[in-house]
Amino acid sequence: MGLVERRIGLLFAIFLCLLALAGGRTLWLGGVKAPSLKRAAVTQQVNEIKVPARRGSITDRRGIDLAVSEPASDVAATPYLVRSPQRAAARLAPLLGSTEPDVLKKLGSSGGFVYLARNLSASKVQKIKALKIVGLDFTPSSRREYPRRWLASQVIGGVGVDGDGLSGLEYAQDDVLGGSDGTRRVVNDGVGDPIVQQEPKRAVAGKELRLTIDAPLQAKVEDVLAEIGAKWHPKGATAIVMDPRNGGVLTMANWPRVDANDFGGAPQYAAQNRAVGFNYEPGSTFKPFTVSGALEEGVVDPDDVFNLPPTIEVADRTIGESHERGTIDLTTAEILAQSSNVGTVKIGLKLGATRFDRWVRRFGFGRRTGIELAGEEAGQVLARKDYSGSSIGNLPIGQGVSVTPLQLTRAYAAIANGGMLRKPQLIAAVDGKRAAQQPGQRVLSATTAKQIRSMLEGVVSADGTGSAAAIDGYTLAGKTGTANKIDRKTGEYSTSRYIGSFVGFAPASKPKLLVTVMVDEPQGEYYGAEVAAPAFQEIMRFALPYLSIPPG
């Protein structure tokens, strides 16, 4: 019996040791390791997921969709629940638009949650669900689509994978379009099936933006710019169509065009909205503002006659015409119609540097227009204290000052609408509520504005520099511009790189439509009369009847 008792005692001792070990393990897990185990359990069984708000749509002024958000889903996985990662990766990769090694790497991660795809289309999500792969999770989201693809893409901009605006209106109006994201808490059982879903914070959809942009007109303008691209092979081209009566932007177009559904694949220059982000010297398109200031100050009249030699000396600078000529007599109106550099400089000298500087700033140059877009440039206007002796010789003819196409369009609109400078407007309504229009600022008397409009009619006449812009049945007014670009290596004006432009409006007596065309570094011909005026004519020829503007 002694042997049996000893064996029983030994077994009892072993049992007590095992019991002590189990108790110690229990105390260890329940005490020391409890916090980390609790976190692991939560990680594996409780997921808190952001629910993106449905982004507001963007439409043109007639309700045509330009940017919409379509139903989609974020596809995620709980890796340790996926039974056969290799087989799952092979089946998922084609539907996720990824490669099998990339999907397998995600499925082999050590975390309790990993994204396989973001904003996947509803059709692909349904195919993935049909595979019935255990361990996948689908969170409703939305996918940004641009139905018109190329149309006004630099203006509209794009969004990132998280749905946040990255450029254009999508970025500038992100707070309006984006809404407010929500959160969803999902509790899974031991095999990964959801047993509880809660929404501590519901997503609030973004608001709809209705623009002043007119889609068919925008498409036509972009086609015209594409023709410029094919014919003159410029670095780029920009056009703006505006209603000068209220500052509403009907088109804002850039070439080269960009596919809004592949914004990241576009070159940086093409992706830029040069209508607001490109500074350039305006050249002769700036001359009407010099003449406006002189008329308003009473230092010249439209019929004043100037004796104009071939060149004029201002301090250490000799200024001549774009084409050689002898000494002639021209009136103030003829100086503008024929775009005489010498004549404009003489008018600028009569106005004087201090008053000239005041008028430049009065027309809004040197500051942003305030349009509803981010990244707008302010242009560059030389401070009066920094004028040199020759500044009053080059500034009146649009050299030594830089503008954006939108700044120039806005300033011309002030001449067109009777002297009122208005803030350009791109957003017509938010969620159906009409956007408020700010009152304009009078910068020019109605009489002087009318005189300038009459002078600019001469530009488009048979003897004017913009005769290529004329349209039968309509009286147009406008101005050509040709400017040398600065050579960054030498700091001097380039002899091979130019900007050609044309700005004009119709009907000349009571303008309802204003068009600006700017062509950056055209090849071959480069004068604004050659490369920009015909484009202006083509745009106007379409737009006037399209918008039911009668001849006049």
> CA–CA separation, 357 vs 348, rounded Å?
10
Cβ contact 85:79 at 8 Å? yes
Query: Checking phi first, is residue 87 left (phi over 0); if not, alpha (psi -120 to 50) or beta?
Result: alpha
Print burial letters for 350-389: b (CB count within 10 Å at least 16), e (below 16): ebebebbbebbebbbbbeebebbbbebbbbebbeeeebee
> CA–CA separation, 512 vs 514, rounded Å?
7
User: What string of H, E and C letters represents the secondary structure of 150-201?
Assistant: CCCHHHHCCECCCCCECCHHHHHCHHHHHCECEEEEEEECCCCCEEEEEEEE
User: What string of H, E and C letters represents the secondary structure of 478-528?
Assistant: EEEEEEEEECCCCCCEEEEEEEEEEEEEECCCCCCEEEEEEEECCCCCCCH
CA 177 to chain centre: 15
> CA–CA separation, 522 vs 506, rounded Å?
26
| Count of CA atoms in the C-beta half-sphere (13 A) of 20 | 6
Cβ contact 352:336 at 8 Å? no
284 classed as catalytic: yes
The single residue listed with the structure tokens 């500038």 is 172
| Count of CA atoms in the C-beta half-sphere (13 A) of 249 | 27
Which residues contact residue 520 at a Cβ distance below 8 angstroms, ignoring those fewer than 6 apart?
234, 235, 236, 237, 238, 274, 278, 280, 499
Burial class (CB in 10 A: 0-12, 13-18, 19+), 160: middle
- Among 284, 339, 391, 402, the active-site one is 284
Just list the catalytic residues.
284
